[in-house]
A and B are shown apart, each in its own frame.
Chain A
Amino acid sequence: MPAVWVFVEQEGDGPTSLGLELLAKGRELGDATVVLLGPGSDEVFSILGDHGARAVLHLDGGDRLPSGPVAAALADRAGSDPPELILMGQAYNDRDIAGRLAARLGVGVLSNASDVRLTGGGVETDHEILGGTQIATASASQGPYIVLARPKSFVAEAVGGDAPTIEKLELPDIGAAEGRITETHVEEREGPQLGEASIVVSGGRGLGSADAYELVERLGKQLKGATGATRAIVDAGWVPYSKQVGQTGKTVKPEVYIACGISGAMQHLVGMKDAKTIIAINKDADAPIFSIADLGVVGDVHKVLPKLIEALESR
């Protein structure tokens, strides 16, 4: 069985959902060792074991910016006995560590993968390109292969494994490349998480103003769903980045996705086109979003949304 390292971050008392998705794939491809970043706990280790991790390499960054020291520690650990594949997610710390680690090891990174296969010595990755209209299959010529997979590419699965063995890796001194985290700010959030919600209501520039996002929030609340946004209105400062859906934001796969005043740029579509049902409201009959909508309403969000919210309230 090929050795596979799977990068998992700890969030509160558990692993992130992205980490567990990656672990499901890693376990399918080989002998999965989790590289855990976070304080660690018996609870986290046991969840990782339950999801099929045989071993855990545990790194705790504390207030150190993780990318530098974690990449150094992993490069060192990989030196004597490198894994065939290092599977990470298309996410902030993953990208930072992958970039630095790859530069140290002198190998490339296969970014934005939607699937990965080991082919007996080689690797193949699939990538959605040109707005998800085509799938490119890529390969790298030298291992260890470092792959960044998009969130929601794989399905997390508990398989009832034993407690993994734990090896604590010390973070080395990296001199001038060191960075420190001096403060952490958490934005308030209500309702289900965007990545997990079964209904997502998103708004775009067609709402016309930051105030009009309230319509999206009211509809989201009425449907007990989460609210999302396009990058256009995140950049405009109407809503926080945590709501961004798309290539550089979150990937969502809800039962129903309602796009309000969203044109349907390819960078947005790659983050939501796998929703089971897509409903779009846009006043431009030729908006690209209509080409993937199950129900397209050509209309003004300021007229349709208030009526829709009212109709749902009175049900």
Chain B
Amino acid sequence: MNVIVCVKQIPDPATPYRLEEGTNWLIRPEEQILDDTDRYGVEMGLQLVEPSGGTVTVVSMGPAGSGQGIRQALAMGADDAILIEDTSLRGSDALTTARVLAAAVGRREFGLVIAGTESTDGYSGVVPQMLAEILDVPALTYATKVEVDEGSVTIHRQTVAGYDVVTSSLPAVVSVTAGVVEPRYPTFKGIMDAKKKSIETLSMGDLGAERAPEQLVLSIVDAAERTAGRKIEDDGDAHEAIVALLAERKVI
């Protein structure tokens, strides 16, 4: 079985995010990293193809930059990558993203498409479901466990109360939570091999996907800020200050 994993390159969350004047779009530096959320998907894909001997292809939409994030996924062991880069895709919403990803995925033979539950920089949390609808396949979402067996896939789907066991036929889209598997770190050999792997770069013209109706960010204002109160060093009696505050708030 071949698996396609949707991965996003994002600005390092450890650096402050800045917005472009006018459009209020996120400024994306040349150097972007693989979204941590998507390392779980890559690992899941690798584990699922190991027994059957299929391939793992990563698909990513967005400015390529140095391509470092894509190389990270290839260094983990993914076989090849498809990158969709087109200036007309700047400021894309979830539906445009899903249409583009679906058009790219549709060029390959696949059993499973894996995505994260929500991206770190955009967190719309609806791209995998839209992708499934466009591909006309089931969306098995919020998976904490995934098993594939002869033409079907079964997951543990996280719910508010616990989890459900959900099953469908293949092909399907599965979105995985962090914690579904432990992502491997690239080995030195993996990093060297990644340099030789193929990255197919496509534009909107190659795909024929249509942009969704536009969404605009009209304005950005500072939120009412919550200010820091008192800070005390624990000298062995700090619990007394907590008890006093709880009493003052009449909760004890």
Residues on A with beta carbons closer than 8 Å to the beta carbon of B223: 128, 132-135
Residues on A with beta carbons closer than 8 Å to the beta carbon of B9: none
Among B117, B124, B144, which residue has its beta carbon within 8 angstroms of that of A109? B124
Residues on B with beta carbons closer than 8 Å to the beta carbon of A255: 249, 251
> Do the beta carbons of B213 and A141 come within 8 Å of each other?
yes
Among A109, A223, A235, which residue has its beta carbon within 8 angstroms of that of B126? A109
Tell me whether A99 and B215 are in contact in the complex, defined as CB-CB below 8 angstroms, given that A135-B221, A136-B24, A234-B179 are known contacts.
no
- A106 located at the interface, meaning its Cβ lies under 8 Å from any Cβ of chain B in the complex: yes
Among A68, A130, A248, which residue has its beta carbon within 8 angstroms of that of B139? A68
Q: Type the 1/0 row for B182-208, where 1 means its CB is closer than 8 Å to any CB of A.
A: 000000000000000000000000000
- A42 located at the interface, meaning its Cβ lies under 8 Å from any Cβ of chain B in the complex: no
* A261 CB, min distance to chain B CBs, angstroms: 13
Question: With A and B bound together, what is the CA distance between A278 and B58 in angstroms?
Answer: 43
- B113 located at the interface, meaning its Cβ lies under 8 Å from any Cβ of chain A in the complex: no
> Do the beta carbons of B220 and A304 come within 8 Å of each other?
no
Q: How many A-B residue pairs have CB under 8 A?
A: 262
- A290 located at the interface, meaning its Cβ lies under 8 Å from any Cβ of chain B in the complex: yes
> Do the beta carbons of B129 and A99 come within 8 Å of each other?
yes
Tell me whether A304 and B234 are in contact in the complex, defined as CB-CB below 8 angstroms, given that A176-B136, A256-B246 are known contacts.
yes
Q: Type the 1/0 row for B224-252, where 1 means its CB is closer than 8 Å to any CB of A.
A: 01111111111010111111011001011
Give chain A interface residues in 86-120, CB to chain B under 8 Å. Answer: 90-92, 95-96, 98-100, 102-104, 106-112
Among B179, B213, B226, B236, the one with the most A-chain Cβ atoms within 10 Å of its Cβ is: B226
Among B164, B215, B228, which residue has its beta carbon within 8 angstroms of that of A110? B215
* A167 CB, min distance to chain B CBs, angstroms: 24
Question: With A and B bound together, what is the CA distance between A242 and B159 in angstroms?
Answer: 8
Among A176, A240, A285, which residue has its beta carbon within 8 angstroms of that of B137? A176
Residues on B with beta carbons closer than 8 Å to the beta carbon of A135: 220-223
Question: With A and B bound together, what is the CA distance between A180 and B169 in angstroms?
Answer: 10
Among B137, B212, B230, which residue has its beta carbon within 8 angstroms of that of A108? B212
Give the size of the chain A interface in residues (CB under 8 angstroms): 92
Tell me whether A297 and B133 are in contact in the complex, defined as CB-CB below 8 angstroms, given that A140-B213, A277-B249, A292-B228 are known contacts.
no
Residues on A with beta carbons closer than 8 Å to the beta carbon of B17: 130
> Do the beta carbons of B252 and A277 come within 8 Å of each other?
no
Question: With A and B bound together, what is the CA distance between A281 and B239 in angstroms?
Answer: 10
| Residue of chain B at shortest CB distance from A183 | B165
Q: Type the 1/0 row for A118-134, where 1 means its CB is closer than 8 Å to any CB of B.
A: 00000010001110111
Residues on B with beta carbons closer than 8 Å to the beta carbon of A155: none
Give chain A interface residues in 276-315, CB to chain B under 8 Å. Answer: 276-279, 281, 285, 290-300, 303-304, 307-308, 311-312, 315
Residues on B with beta carbons closer than 8 Å to the beta carbon of A100: 129-130, 132-133, 139
- A231 located at the interface, meaning its Cβ lies under 8 Å from any Cβ of chain B in the complex: yes
- B15 located at the interface, meaning its Cβ lies under 8 Å from any Cβ of chain A in the complex: no
Question: With A and B bound together, what is the CA distance between A180 and B7 in angstroms?
Answer: 27
- A172 located at the interface, meaning its Cβ lies under 8 Å from any Cβ of chain B in the complex: no
Question: With A and B bound together, what is the CA distance between A255 and B246 in angstroms?
Answer: 10
Residues on B with beta carbons closer than 8 Å to the beta carbon of A33: none
- A55 located at the interface, meaning its Cβ lies under 8 Å from any Cβ of chain B in the complex: no
Question: With A and B bound together, what is the CA distance between A240 and B165 in angstroms?
Answer: 16
Residues on A with beta carbons closer than 8 Å to the beta carbon of B232: 295-298
Question: With A and B bound together, what is the CA distance between A182 and B129 in angstroms?
Answer: 20
> Do the beta carbons of B245 and A95 come within 8 Å of each other?
no
> Do the beta carbons of A308 and B128 come within 8 Å of each other?
no
> Do the beta carbons of A179 and B140 come within 8 Å of each other?
yes
> Do the beta carbons of A183 and B233 come within 8 Å of each other?
no
Question: With A and B bound together, what is the CA distance between A288 and B157 in angstroms?
Answer: 33
| Residue of chain B at shortest CB distance from A248 | B118
Tell me whether A223 and B251 are in contact in the complex, defined as CB-CB below 8 angstroms, given that A291-B228, A296-B232 are known contacts.
yes
Tell me whether A129 and B246 are in contact in the complex, defined as CB-CB below 8 angstroms, given that A223-B252, A303-B234 are known contacts.
no
30 A-B contact pairs sorted by A residue (CB < 8 Å): A65-B138, A92-B157, A109-B126, A111-B126, A128-B223, A129-B220, A138-B216, A138-B218, A140-B213, A142-B213, A176-B138, A179-B168, A181-B165, A184-B161, A185-B163, A187-B162, A223-B251, A241-B158, A242-B161, A242-B162, A247-B123, A248-B117, A248-B123, A255-B251, A279-B242, A281-B238, A299-B234, A311-B239, A312-B252, A315-B243
A interface, CB within 8 angstroms of B: 65, 67-68, 71, 90-92, 95-96, 98-100, 102-104, 106-112, 124, 128-130, 132-142, 148, 175-187, 198-199, 223, 231, 234-237, 240-242, 247-248, 255-256, 258, 273, 276-279, 281, 285, 290-300, 303-304, 307-308, 311-312, 315
Nearest first, the 9 A-B pairs at minimum CB distance are A99-B129, A299-B234, A142-B213, A99-B126, A103-B133, A294-B229, A179-B168, A308-B239, A183-B165
